[in-house]
Amino acid sequence: MCDLLRINTDRGVMIGDGKSRFSIGGKPIYHFVGTSTFSEYTVMHVGCVAKINPEAPLDKVCVLSCGICTGLGASINVAKPPKGSTVAIFGLGAVGLAAAEGARIAGASRIIGVDLNASRFEEARKFGCTEFVNPKDHTKPVQQVLADMTNGGVDRSVECTGNVNAMIQAFECVHDGWGVAVLVGVPHKDAEFKTHPMNFLNERTLKGTFFGNFKPRTDLPNVVEMYMKKELEVEKFITHSVPFSEINKAFDLMAKGEGIRCIIRMDN
């Protein structure tokens, strides 16, 4: 992890002098996660810039940002499902869909999506999900449902909700002996991960990831190349495209939920 540049949401200023480079009417506007890309021009630390293939269409590859890369990398770089293995994905928002896509690219043969919102299941098929579990449809704990479906547990699980109970379920649903669970979702600050430690002694592994373990400057250009080589289809991650002048419409769509993944166009 980069101690210097790792972005915390409180920073909002340049590292060099602790000041902002933006203002409106003399009032400072603070930087957002090191990039501040909702503007025509921006100022950022050299370490926050990655050079990508100049042929790449920016209105498509801009979706290869925090959420998508985190989900994708959680599967490809961290969970690393062996070919033919079974993966459970908890949460089918943008991050979870990217995790499913990553599991598909890695060669998993069964990808089980878990979500409380049944309307997300159909779309998740496009991202490689082969089966679905809605915990609401079961009286048994979802760990048990998954164990029953998989002869004792999934090989890998990726948790993309940020809900601490889903994190615990994602850990407890992997198979003894070799199972690996990867935590991706950002938890509530007061959340506590609780499990019986015997679950670890049965030779399971629990890992977390930040940005899918991608090193942004080194690895982002390669993710863009995956798109250029058609190994990764980014178009299916985009459900809406909204001009900057209507940015609040995009936030309204997001607040309604239901799996909206929107591009904000600056060319308006």
- Contact status: 186 vs a copy of itself (CB under 8 A): yes
Cβ nearer to a copy of itself, comparing 124 with 180: 180
From the list 214, 213, 266, 222, the residue with the least C-alpha distance to 51 is 222
Residues between 192 and 211 that touch a copy of itself (CB under 8 A): 192-210
Q: How far is the CB of 91 from a copy of itself (least distance, A)?
A: 14
Choices 12-20, 60-68, 191-199, 217-225; region in contact with a copy of itself by CB under 8 A: 191-199
Q: How far is the CB of 209 from a copy of itself (least distance, A)?
A: 6
Q: How far is the CB of 2 from a copy of itself (least distance, A)?
A: 9
Q: How many CB atoms lie within 10 A of CB 173?
A: 27
Q: How many CB atoms lie within 10 A of CB 118?
A: 11
Cβ nearer to a copy of itself, comparing 8 with 248: 8
Q: How many residues bind a copy of itself (CB under 8 A)?
A: 31
The alpha carbon of residue 183 and the mean position of all alpha carbons in its chain are separated, in whole angstroms, by 10
Token pair of 228, please? 């250029």
Query: Applying CB under 8 A, which of residues 5, 52, 191, 266 lies at the interface with a copy of itself?
Result: 191
From the list 91, 78, 24, the residue with the least C-alpha distance to 219 is 78
Token pair of 65, please? 């940002």
Query: Applying CB under 8 A, which of residues 164, 173, 232, 234 lies at the interface with a copy of itself?
Result: 164
Token pair of 267, please? 């060319």
- Count the alpha carbons within 13 Å of 261 in the hemisphere toward its beta carbon: 24
Query: Applying CB under 8 A, which of residues 135, 187, 243, 259 lies at the interface with a copy of itself?
Result: 187
Separation of alpha carbons 210 and 224, rounded Å: 19
Q: Which residues bind a copy of itself (CB under 8 A)?
A: 1, 164, 167, 176-177, 183-184, 186-187, 189, 191-210, 213
